[in-house]
Every structure is written in structure tokens, then in C-alpha cells.
């Protein structure tokens, strides 16, 4: 769950909490990332369309959860460092390099920061890759989920995931997982944001609530 602190008076002085559902999956030619968009403060929804997918470089993105302020700060720092690195080496950075930077910052400031970022993207060396980073952990996985809504969809992703899924199948997998999580987790909701990354670049998409798939209980 995303959390953000504020020094302003009244209800703004309390923690602003954002329920979250984030997901990333790799396919043969790239990756698909997705997130919901709801932001809440206590019992109030303060933003229905926050994009929790942050670009770290041209073909590398991260999905944010944990403290909103902390996660966004880490993403901005890594974005800057990757830009400098790519200029120095005169080529695009590796996805693992981006994930390692996130991991190093998360570990160094683990007592001060509370954020979990899923890093995913494409590079010419490893193709599509998904990395989980948390308090110094760095693990490459075929797919990853996170946030408060993830606890509602473990059974779904375990049952539906299979190796060798195509680009369209991965997009469908991500959209259906987000839809189920948003329907069951009261802290997740809004629209679904998708980013598909391959050798050609990144394609962003916003799926409105009335365009999301429906299931038998709806």
C-alpha cells in the first residue's frame, strides 16, 4: 500500500494511504507492466487516475508501491542516474543496471524509506526482463505482483500464468489480473494503466473502467 506523509494541518497531517495493485510480466520480445490508479487518504479517494508506472529510461519502467513520496523519489533518482550513465557509455542502460540502482537505494535507506518497486524493461543483452526489488533484494522473475490488491489474485496468476505467452496474451493476463484485484480490494480501483515495452520502444495505454473485462460475479 502506498503511503505519503504531509506536514499540513487537519486531515492532510495524517498519512495519505494509497491502495495499490501492480504487476509485470515478461514475454519473448519484451515486458508488460500494469497498475491501478486509485489514491486514497484515510477513507477518502483523493485521486482516481494516478499513473503508478514510472519511466526510468526509454525502454525501462518501474511500478510503484509503498510510500508514494519515497517510491517517486527513488524513481526520479534512478532516472537521472541512468540518463548520466547512458551518456557516459554511449548506449542504452541494461534493465538489470536500473534494478540494481533501485536495490542499492532501497537497501542504503531501508530505515528511512518504505517503497517496493518492480523494475521491468527490454535491453539488447537480455530481452524482456522483470526484477523485484525490496530492502536490498534483487530477484529476476518471469512475472511479479505487488501492492495491497496482489493478495486477492495470487490464485488467479498462479493458475493462469504459463511459459511462452505471447505479447497479446500477456496484455490480457495483466488486464484481467488488475480487474480482479480492483474489484476485490477496496483500496485499489480507478482505471488500469498498461505499458508494453519491446525492442521498438514503449507503448502506454489507459483502460477506462467501462472497458475492463467483466467476470461471472459482476
The 8-class DSSP code of residue 7 comes to -
The pTM score is: 0.88
Is the separation of the CB atoms in 149 and 181 below 8 Å?
yes
Q: What's the rounded Cα separation, in Å, for the pair 95 and 75?
A: 14
Task: Please give the grid coordinates belonging to residue 174.
Answer: 495483466
User: What are the beta bridge partners of residue 30?
Assistant: 27, 198
Work out the pLDDT band at 186, boundaries 50, 70, 90.
Answer: confident
The active-site residue out of 20, 21, 133, 196 is 20
Digit-coded pLDDT (tens) for 41-78: 666 666 678 899 999 999 999 999 877 788 889 999 99
Split into its structural domains, the chain has a count of: 1
Is residue 35 assigned to a domain?
yes
**Cα angle 93, 95, 98; round to 5:** 75
Place of cell 505519503: 4
Alpha-carbon distance of 141 to 157, in angstroms, equals: 13
20 catalytically annotated: yes
Q: Is residue 185 part of a domain?
A: yes
Q: Give the SS3 label for residue 59.
A: coil
Q: Is the pLDDT of residue 87 over 50?
A: yes
Residue 6 lies in a domain: no
The three grid cell numbers given for residue 134, joined into one nine-digit string: 525490496
Question: Domain with 34 in it: what CATH number?
Answer: 3.60.20.10
Residue 2 belongs to some domain of the structure: no
Q: Is residue 215 part of a domain?
A: no
pLDDT band per the 50, 70, 90 thresholds, residue 155: very high
Cα angle vertex 159, ends 1, 143, to 5°? Answer: 50
Bridge-partner residues for 144, per DSSP? 24
Q: Is the dihedral of CA 62, 66, 67, 68 positive or negative?
A: positive
pLDDT above 80 (res 185): yes
205 found inside a domain: no
Quote the CA–CA distance of 82 and 80 in Å, as a whole number. Answer: 5
Q: Exposed, middle or buried by CB within 10 Å (0-12, 13-18, 19+), for 79?
A: middle
Handedness of CA 8, 41, 204, 211 (dihedral sign): negative
Residue found by looking up cell 490508479 in the block: 37
User: Is residue 9 domain-resident?
Assistant: no
Q: 97: number of CA atoms within 13 Å, CB side? A: 20
| Domain range for 191 | 22-200
> Which tens digit of pLDDT belongs to each residue from 9-41?
333 333 444 468 999 999 999 999 999 988 666
Residue 17 domain-assigned (yes or no): no
Amino acid at each position: 500500500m502506498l503511503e505519503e506523509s504531509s506536514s499540513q494541518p487537519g486531515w492532510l497531517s495524517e498519512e495519505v494511504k494509497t491502495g495499490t495493485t501492480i504487476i509485470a510480466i515478461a514475454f519473448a520480445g519484451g515486458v508488460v507492466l500494469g497498475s491501478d490508479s486509485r489514491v486514497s487518504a484515510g477513507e477518502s479517494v483523493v485521486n482516481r487516475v494516478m499513473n503508478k508506472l514510472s519511466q526510468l529510461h526509454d525502454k525501462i519502467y518501474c511500478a510503484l508501491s509503498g510510500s508514494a513520496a519515497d517510491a517517486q523519489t527513488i524513481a526520479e533518482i534512478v532516472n537521472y542516474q541512468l540518463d548520466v550513465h547512458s551518456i557516459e557509455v554511449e548506449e542504452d542502460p541494461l534493465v538489470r543496471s536500473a534494478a540494481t540502482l533501485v536495490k542499492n537505494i532501497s537497501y542504503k535507506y531501508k530505515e528511512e524509506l518504505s517503497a517496493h518497486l518492480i523494475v521491468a524493461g527490454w535491453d539488447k543483452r537480455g530481452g524482456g526482463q522483470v526484477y523485484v526489488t525490496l530492502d536490498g533484494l534483487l530477484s529476476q522473475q518471469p512475472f511479479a505482483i505487488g501492492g495491497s490488491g496482489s493478495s486477492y489474485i495470487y490464485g488467479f496468476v498462479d493458475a493462469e500464468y504459463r511459459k511462452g505467452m505471447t505479447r497479446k496474451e500477456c496484455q490480457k493476463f495483466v488486464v484481467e489480473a488488475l480487474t480482479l484485484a480492483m474489484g476485490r480490494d477496496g483500496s485499489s480501483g480507478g482505471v488500469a494503466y498498461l505499458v508494453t515495452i519491446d525492442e521498438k520502444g514503449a507503448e502506454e495505454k489507459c483502460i477506462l473502467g467501462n472497458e475492463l473485462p467483466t467476470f461471472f460475479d459482476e
